[in-house]
Amino acid sequence: QVQLVESGGGLVRPGGSLRLSCAASGFTLNYYAIAWFRQAPGKEREGVSCIAGSGSSPYYADSVKGRFTISRDNAKKTVYLQMNSLKPEDTAVYYCATVNSATCSDYEFIVRSWGQGTQVTVSS
């Protein structure tokens, strides 16, 4: 049974940092790319970042490029999203997802499974 469990969300002030974790179970992690999405109130879910099964060629949305870093530890079956220089517009529920591919090509359209989400709130 595929399971993704996010953790690490919370309330942080603008300019602060958080590290989200996505613990995977029920499948062979390195066979699949893993992505992070987010959904803010009243907005559509958007892709934030993606990392290939091999850990190469990470992808970032323009809105987070230079501030967020995605990484994975296949031995620990965990994918991380380090978020620095957080802004109020980063406030959203963040979801990790398995991509039905080992690469991030068109990852937003081929999600295999979703986690339950973790809330990130950036506010002073």
The predicted structure's pLDDT at residue 15: 98
Tell me the pLDDT tens digit for each residue of 44-88.
999 999 999 998 889 999 999 999 999 999 899 999 999 999 999
State the burial class of residue 13 (Cβ atoms within 10 Å of its Cβ: 0-12, 13-18, 19+): exposed
Task: Tell how many helices (H) and how many strands (E) occur in the chain.
Answer: 0, 11
